[in-house]
Amino acid sequence: MSEKRKITVAYGDGIGPEIMDATLRILDAAEAPLEYDEIKVGEQVYKSGISSGIEDSAWDSLRENKIFLKAPITTPQGGGYKSLNVTIRKTLGLYANVRPCRAYTPFVKSNFPKMNLTIVRENEEDLYAGIEHQQTEEVVQTLKLVSRPGIESIVRYAFEYARLNNRKKVTCMTKDNIMKQSDGLFHRVFNRVSEEYPNIEADHMIIDIGSAKLADNPESFDVVVTLNLYGDIISDIAAEVAGSVGLGGSSNVGQTVAMFEAIHGSAPDIAGKNIANPSGLLNGAIMMLVHLGETKLAEKIENAWLKTIEDGIHTGDVYEEGTSTALVGTKEFADAVIERLGQTPSTFKPVYYKEDADPIDTKHIPTTHYRTKTLVGVDVFIDWREHDRDANVIGQTLENAQGEALKLKMITNRGVKVYPSGFPETFKTDHWRCRYTAPAGSCSNKDVYDLLKRIDDAGLDFIKTEHLYEFDGVRGYSLGQGE
């Protein structure tokens, strides 16, 4: 990067302006070849009546500059305001959330002195697609949608991150013992991609035990890759147990645009007092430099920052009698980092980034195509609460509605088989999943359509359908519990 590169910056709310000012002063003192294009986001934009928290004109800057350094913002309570982060992530396709969490003992207290891990969280899919419906009086649904290309991108990102940062292991966390389709696909893609990285150890943990281990023994993890919801939860666990919420930076990376920020929020309780720690945003800015290929500059700033921390020059949030040598404000902390540019830490290992590190690029994703997709049945969901919810009554009606091709196989309620031969103890809601199946190749959409007509004629209220397919002869749907 020889000439100056324009990036978009937002000073945010609360402590945002103070920590952004400190961060940009350090970048400038280190001669980062950057120019700043400021946009307004956050509280004042929300309060001007824009529920997304970002003005329309700001998108042009983000799309043109492609790199966004963002200070934390305050989300006003109530009033239908949308999360700015979610809007930016989704609009600009920022599919990877990367959050390094490490301890800085003995200078910053942590129960896990050797902890040094990075969470790579899928950012766009999973339950966060926000596709929700009330289907009956008693039952609502949230759709969990994941895609093979989405999974390929995030898994590949995690391995590329590990390769470029000299990491030794990538752990995948899913709940594929229960969600064999969605989480199962994530795990399978992880296994396949891991074969391309023989020098990096790959392992898998079920998310529940994985989270417990992360809280209990975080030092045993290196890079963790997981789906959106699990990643949201475990990245907070990891940041908390590292004991350095005020120090961590994070990135949200897409194919063309990337956003860098601090992990923490706008801390309105300490705003305007020159006491906030600017390290979280600075660490976000260091991740940005690595992303831009400015690895030497990233090393220079990170090593100066580590030296400042180990010299005991601390802001109030990490200051400790006996360990720290000076209690400083936001500005003075930035001055101390600037003074140390060019120095390396002696207790902490100096940081080194590969000089020829390419920005991570997961654009060329090989996708596997199936050859055959065969309709083998349909799940018809019905809203029904008559006859004391006796499954035999609805079962008989639905058997009478079956045609030549599609035969009633079973009915489940909340996933548990209740017909034929269910248990009277099983609790039943007003939401019935009725599975009709046919031998492969013997039914079509027309048969589904005719079946729905007969169900409607029988006076039952069908509320949705899901087709059952086999892909290359492999079942593409889950079995009911007890099927």
Residues forming contacts to ligand NAD in the complex (CB under 6 A) are: 15, 72-75, 85, 246, 261, 264-270, 276-277, 280, 317
Q: Would you state the structure tokens that stand for residue 133, as one six-digit string?
A: 């419906």
Residue 275 or 351 having the CB closest to ligand NAD = 275
Least distance CB 292 / ligand NAD (angstroms): 21
Residue nearest to ligand NAD (CB): 265
How distant, in Å, are the alpha carbons of 30, 88, 323, 440 from that of 334? 12, 29, 20, 68
Residue 294 or 335 having the CB closest to ligand NAD = 335
Residue 85 or 437 having the CB closest to ligand NAD = 85
Least distance CB 95 / ligand NAD (angstroms): 17
Least distance CB 166 / ligand NAD (angstroms): 28
Least distance CB 12 / ligand NAD (angstroms): 6
Strands 169-174 and 201-206: parallel
28: nearest Cα among 477, 343, 334, 466: 334
Residue 210 or 280 having the CB closest to ligand NAD = 280
Residue 85 or 136 having the CB closest to ligand NAD = 85
Angstrom distance (rounded) from CA 251 to CA 254: 10
Query: Which helix (H) or strand (E) covers residue 461, if one does?
Result: strand 461-471
Residue 20 or 73 having the CB closest to ligand NAD = 73
Contact between residue 297 and residue 5 where contact means Cβ atoms under 8 Å apart: no
Least distance CB 18 / ligand NAD (angstroms): 9
Contact between residue 458 and residue 397 where contact means Cβ atoms under 8 Å apart: yes
69: nearest Cα among 104, 32, 108, 103: 32
Least distance CB 105 / ligand NAD (angstroms): 19
How distant, in Å, are the alpha carbons of 138, 315, 326, 412 from that of 426? 16, 58, 65, 10
Least distance CB 406 / ligand NAD (angstroms): 50
- For tokens 């040598």, name the residue: 325
Residue 203 or 317 having the CB closest to ligand NAD = 317
92: nearest Cα among 58, 126, 51, 118: 58
Q: Residue 131 — φ and ψ, nearest 5°?
A: -100, 100
Type of residue at 211? S
Residue 62 or 391 having the CB closest to ligand NAD = 62
Side-chain-side CA neighbours of 23 within 13 Å: the count stands at 34
The maximal CA–CA distance of the chain, rounded, in angstroms, is 83
Least distance CB 287 / ligand NAD (angstroms): 14
